Chain A
Amino acid sequence: MSDYTVAKTLDCKGLACPMPIVRLSQEIAKIKVGEVIEMFTTDPGSLADVPSWAKSTGNAVLENKQESGVIHFFVKRQK
């Protein structure tokens, strides 16, 4: 198990497209460049969408893992 210093936790469980990336874009603006935000989703589409969002915005998904229907992302603010 990897350990990151998580600056912020974002709970998007139950939310459907496009709300997880809408919330992520708003919340990541509140942390500093280099810090990591931890995010929980249950929308299977977010498995593809969060990395696409990161690619397009120039941020990085450090890791994602799935535990009993919940997807757990670590996203690093790079810009």
Chain B
Amino acid sequence: MDIEKELADIKAKLEAMPGKENKLSMVIFSGDLDKQIAALIIATGAAAMGMKVVLFYTFWGTSALRDPAKKVNGKSFMGKMFGFMLPKGRNKLKLSQMHMAGMGTAMLKDLMKKKNVASLDQLFEAAGMLGVQINICQMSMDLMDLKREEMIDYPHLNVCGVATFLNDAKESAIQLFI
């Protein structure tokens, strides 16, 4: 038996093994404020632990990446309706529970400020500084007629599809779905 060939074989197998990278991949599907805060806390925490972090925003999650100050023209009727109905950016997200017509969400934000818990704005800023990658699902954007030009200015932002997410997820030691 050729030992060197055997070694090269094992090396190749190790190389192709899933989850070998110190990396976190997360799908952010939910557009709920509480879930988005949890996702960003985990993401910034992981980045601080020295992990590579990739966030894949899809479906209701994409609303968090809209920039309320940006307007785009040329949307379809349904696109305009979606644009009107969906939260315009991360500061318009609602709690998944106890929203109470806005009272609950306002109270939670107030409480977070009092207890010095980082807001979504601060968490996004930290994520940007730590190099957290944000990928937006192209299909969700097409479906809801969201344009790249109306998304937030973020240093590491990309639009992609499920194959990119799967490739990231396969390499990652941790994969989460929120």
List chain A positions with a Cβ less than 8 A from chain B. 14-19, 21-22, 24-26, 53, 56-57
Contacts of B41 in A (CB 8 A): 17-18
> Chain B 25-49 against A: per-residue CB contact (8 Å), 1 yes, 0 no?
0000000000000000100110111
3 closest residue pairs by CB, A with B: A25-B48, A18-B45, A16-B117
How many whole Å from A75's CB to the nearest CB in chain B? 13
How many whole Å from B95's CB to the nearest CB in chain A? 18
From B115, B116, B117, B130, give the contact of A22 (CB < 8 A).
Answer: B130
| Interface of A, helix, strand, loop or mixed by DSSP | helix
B116–A21 touching, CB < 8 Å: no
Complex Cα distance, B48 from A56, in Å, reads 10
List chain B positions with a Cβ less than 8 A from chain A. 41, 44-45, 47-50, 115-118, 126, 129-130
Number of A-B contacts (CB under 8 A): 41
Complex Cα distance, B48 from A22, in Å, reads 5
Given contacts A15-B118, A22-B126, 7 further A-B contacts (CB under 8 A): A15-B116, A16-B115, A17-B117, A18-B41, A22-B48, A25-B49, A57-B50
From B115, B116, B118, B129, give the contact of A26 (CB < 8 A).
Answer: B129
Contacts of B118 in A (CB 8 A): 15-16, 18-19
Nearest residue (CB) in B for A53 is B49
- Given A25-B130, A26-B129, the answer on whether A18 and B48 have CB atoms closer than 8 Å is yes
From B44, B115, B116, B129, give the contact of A18 (CB < 8 A).
Answer: B44
A25–B50 touching, CB < 8 Å: yes
B50–A21 touching, CB < 8 Å: no
Nearest residue (CB) in A for B129 is A26
B50–A56 touching, CB < 8 Å: yes
Contacts of B126 in A (CB 8 A): 19, 22
Contacts of A19 in B (CB 8 A): 118, 126
Complex Cα distance, B44 from A26, in Å, reads 12
A16–B116 touching, CB < 8 Å: yes
Name the residue in A14, A24, A56 with the highest tally of chain B Cβ atoms < 10 Å from its Cβ.
A56
B49–A57 touching, CB < 8 Å: yes
Nearest residue (CB) in A for B118 is A19
